[in-house]
Structure 1
Amino acid sequence: MRILVATAVPAERDAVARAFTAAPGPDTYDVLAAGVGCAAAAAATATALTTAALTGAAYGLVVSAGIGGGFLPEAPVGSLVIADEITVVDLGAETPEGFVPVTELGFGTVSHRPPKTLVRDIAGVTGARTGTVLTVSTVTGSAERAAELRRSHPRALAEAMEGFGVAEAAAAHGVPVLELRGVSNPVGPRDRAAWRIGDALAALTEAFGKLAPVLESWNPHEPNEPHEP
């Protein structure tokens, strides 16, 4: 099975690639620095998936990977999060009654569900926390916004900027998707001095180094069981 890993920036790409250099598995991994933000991630991922399909070497799984903010106390700095739900939080409309997601306007989707058994097994071998990873266009920078997101998405463990775009591209090609995030900072007021990007990248490398046995035994044709609410 060929696997496409889409990160935002080269530092994330290199952190993933280090895991495969140290302990290569039988699967074929291609690691792409797709760009920052939902649109760039979707465009680059879709291009890679289309190219692979046209050359007869289609991917069987897409992984959105990188660092992100974690909601405390469930996802502390340096921990790893795997999404059982990938949700975009700001695709919709503002109304006098508040924000309305695009689905309530009669369009599109706002969430994607990775394969349940695969999420469970990866969490088991990596120790990752499992929950919702939010996709945002603007990174949270205040306690008020962090609290608002937790009220709207009580299962949220982390936020990042690319997961939903990667998931949309994967869904258009009928390919399952995962999202893995090493937590580099708390979601809330921006304090660059408190960020631990190196620790988050190291967590990402360690996690990918443990994935090969899980992916070898996973059957991509299994039906995706519904997740617990």
Structure 2
Amino acid sequence: PAGHAGAAAPSFDVVAAGVGPAAAAVGAATALATAPYPYDLVVSAGIGGGFAPRAPLGSLVVADAIVAADLGADTPDGYLPVEDLGFGRSVHVPPAELTARVTGALAAAGLPHVLAPVLTVSTVTGTAARTAELTARHPRAGAEAMEGYGVAEAAAAHGVPVLELRAVSNTVGPRDRAAWRIGEALEALSAGFAGLSSALSVASEE
């Protein structure tokens, strides 16, 4: 999930940190702490579930907010995010100028995409009831994944901006592995990285 942009053209160091926010945070923080050069940007990228109809199968979701959707407390009156408990934070906001560049590059390449919050969860949604709960709390959500918030926490601890890019492999809802399109999502993610590289190249030239 860690990357850096060079003066001439962007280049990336790729870290496969593991599944879930804790493993992602450890992997990203270790990369940031031990690299022989400073990073300009951290990118959390992968496949994930898309919230229908906003993010259909094979589309890309660029996060305008990276949200820890289950970091809080259940109460008789409903869910409380960690901020309402008086400590911590559950949302990281990527730089708006950078997300605009990335979505512009994806649009120029003709890639289906949406700019929307990406929810980080420790347990993947697999029921209609859980989908309805998340949609009610996060009506603009585009995708659900398991690593973005952990990566964002590591990036924030090192003072480095963060982006999250997800390719949709399945629809958030009742678990149906037969309907997953992982191959198509990985192809979309590869195309999305081409768009990301283009956006960062433009940024490095200015």
Q: CA deviation digits over 1:121-153, x for unaligned, max 9?
A: 111111321000000010000111111111000
Q: CA deviation digits over 1:16-68, x for unaligned, max 9?
A: xxxxxxxxx8222101101000000001100000012xx3x011000000000
Q: CA deviation at 1:99?
A: 1.3
Question: Is 2:82 the partner of 1:102?
Answer: yes
Q: CA deviation at 1:98?
A: 1.5
Question: What letter matches 1:146 in structure 2?
Answer: T
- Structure 1 residue aligned with 2:26, among 39, 43, 58? 43
Aligned to 2:190: 205
Instruction: Tell me the TM-score normalised to structure 1 length.
Output: 0.82
Unaligned 5+ segments in structure 1 are 6-24, 220-229
Question: Is 2:73 the partner of 1:75?
Answer: no
Aligned to 1:218: 203
- Structure 1 residue aligned with 2:41, among 61, 68, 75? 61
Cα distance between partner residues in 1 of 2:197 and 2:69: 32
- Structure 1 residue aligned with 2:172, among 175, 187, 211? 187
Aligned to 1:91: 71
- Structure 2 residue aligned with 1:154, among 136, 139, 157? 139
Q: CA deviation at 1:205?
A: 0.3
Cα distance between partner residues in 2 of 1:192 and 1:213: 34
Aligned to 2:117: 132
What is the DSSP-based 3-state SS (H/G/I as helix, E as strand, rest coil) of the residue aligned with 2:195? coil
Instruction: Tell me the TM-score normalised to structure 2 length.
Output: 0.91
Cα distance between partner residues in 2 of 1:97 and 1:78: 37
Q: CA deviation digits over 1:80-108, x for unaligned, max 9?
A: 10000000111111112111111111111
- Structure 1 residue aligned with 2:17, among 34, 37, 47? 34
What is the DSSP-based 3-state SS (H/G/I as helix, E as strand, rest coil) of the residue aligned with 1:36? coil
Cα distance between partner residues in 1 of 2:79 and 2:55: 26
Aligned to 2:101: 121
Of 66-75 and 94-103, the range deviating more from structure 2: 94-103
Cα distance between partner residues in 2 of 1:41 and 1:4: 10
Q: CA deviation at 1:172?
A: 0.3
Q: Work out the number of aligned pairs and report it.
A: 195
Cα distance between partner residues in 2 of 1:28 and 1:59: 10
| Percent of pairs with identical residues | 62
Cα distance between partner residues in 1 of 2:94 and 2:195: 18
Question: What letter matches 2:150 in structure 1?
Answer: G
